[in-house]
Amino acid sequence: MSSQQSVPEQAHTARDVRGIIAQRDLVVDLIRTACVVLVVFVHVTMVGVGTADGIEVTSPLQELAWYVPATWVGQVMPLFFVVGGFASIVGWRSTVTRGGGARDYWSTRLVRLFRPAVPLFVVLALGLGIATALGTPPGLLAEVAFGIGSPLWFLAAYGITQCCVPLMVRLHERAPWRTLAVLLGAAVLVDTVRLATGVAEVGLLNLGPVWLFAQQLGFLWADGWFARRSRLLLAVVAVAAYVVLVPLTSIGLWAPDMLQDLNPPMVPLAFLAIAQACLVQLVHRPLASLMRTRGAQAVVFVLGRDGMAVYLWYLPLFIALNGVALLVGVPFPEPGGALWWATRPLALVLLLGAAIVVARALRSFDRPLPRLVPGADRPAWPVLVVAALCTVGPAFAVMQLHLSFPVAVTGAVLVPIGVWLLTRTTPARGVTRI
């Protein structure tokens, strides 16, 4: 049989593609892109490099009187997991529709998440190794490595939630509200044990309940639950979620600063996810109108296409660009001053531009897995579990132990192995390889 498509088949394929694009909620892409840009902007405003009395690093944003209340709006990671839940259930159902299963979903999602991290871990291992060999003061090196590695917690948390998608979709379809209640109760239990025992590591267990709770809200969004609610009800629920946060963060058990409640994730983030999901639906109509304009589509396409690479590289690039500016003698405005704040939008644009350039140069590391051909299947479960541990493990180590030369080397070795294992295919059940 010829591999060439006939004209009618090509026309049918084109109609299918247009239909998929028409059904796609572009607001999801807009929010995902906006979340990445906001995270980058927050770090641009949180790190101020001063040179008046020697090199000094401060955090002008955290010194502002309105900083803590602003985190109730600017902490967008719960919303990111809600949006991720929307994309995940759509991706899972698409996988099932074309005959795939959990192994296919695991492989494609983990490769898409961790393949862009391969060059990053290699560069971090080389950079930290060279810096150590050149005799960089350990304290300074540890501080720089901590800053560079801080975004990598997301790889571990999101990787865990992605592995749970097949199970969580099944639970969602059987009992969505019971599932949400159990996850919220588990999050409360974990925080209770952590606070009662004083063992901070117990809080790591909430990487499951808190982020899975936000992901389940994304499932509801994809099923149209929020769209079917009245604007009044959505506003009431959002306000109620914020009202609940007031006593939660006022009794000394949870911090009112939502960034402090991030690692490990704590119960307030679950209520923040509820509020943010409702607020997004309240502004969904104007956002959808915005996304019908070519300008908005172009911006979201440019930034969103390389969103994961931008997220992974923006902090290393930010630190590198500041270092180069110091070496060549670029004048730095006083951190927190009027001129410094006026230059933050420019700093954001330059940093995003540099991150996009790097992402485009590393585009081969951000390509998805091809779909399975007839008669093929993804690796067996034992291999997939090993691959998941190889990919998620180094990011989890960074989150728990902070970035260091040994951790970076571990990631530079294990993540490529994990990605390679995920890309292997085997004969499908009942198919004999010739």
Per-residue pLDDT of 401-425, as tens digits, reads 899 999 999 999 999 999 999 998 8
Cis bond upstream, residue 416 (ω within 30): no
pLDDT of residue 3: 39
Domain count, the chain: 1
pLDDT at 430 over 80: no
Q: Kindly report each contact of residues 179-182 with a partner whose C-beta sits within 8 Å and lies 24 or more positions away, as own/partner.
A: 179/216, 180/213, 180/216, 180/217
pLDDT of residue 314: 93
Average pLDDT of the residues in 154-178 = 96
Instruction: Supply 223's token pair.
Output: 């099923």
Confidence grade of residue 429 (pLDDT, cut at 50, 70, 90): low
DSSP code, position 427: E
CA angle 80, 116, 22 (to 5 degrees): 55
Dihedral class, residue 331 (left if φ above 0, else alpha if ψ from -120 to 50, else beta):
beta
Higher pLDDT, 156 or 329: 156
Determine the structural domain holding residue 36 and report its residue range. Answer: 27-46+57-366+375-424
Which residues are CB-neighbours of 108 under 8 A, at least 6 positions away? 91, 95, 368, 369
User: Facing residues of 49 across strands?
Assistant: 57
State the sign of the Cα–Cα–Cα–Cα dihedral 124, 346, 340, 263. Answer: negative
Residue 113 lies in a domain: yes
Rg of the Cα atoms in the chain: 23
pLDDT at 271 over 60: yes
pTM for the whole structure: 0.90
Q: Worst-scoring range by mean pLDDT, 43-57, 164-178, 334-348, 375-389?
A: 43-57
DSSP code, position 380: P
Average pLDDT of the residues in 88-97 = 94
Residue 12 lies in a domain: no
Residue 3 lies in a domain: no
Residue 246 lies in a domain: yes
Average pLDDT, the chain: 89
Residue 20 lies in a domain: no
pLDDT of residue 432: 45
Q: What share of the chain has pLDDT > 90, as a percent? A: 67
SS (H, E, C) 22-59: HHCCHHHHHHHHHHHHHHHHHHHHHCEEECECECEEEC
CA distance 336 to 342: 10
Residue 21 lies in a domain: no
Residue 204 lies in a domain: yes
Q: Which amino acid is at 27?
A: V
* 106-136 tens-digit pLDDT: 999 999 999 999 999 999 999 999 999 998 8
Higher pLDDT, 23 or 192: 192
* Burial label, 186 (beta-carbon count in 10 A; 0-12, 13-18, 19+): middle
Residue 1 lies in a domain: no
Confidence grade of residue 365 (pLDDT, cut at 50, 70, 90): confident
The answer to whether 337 and 49 are in contact (CB under 8 A) is no
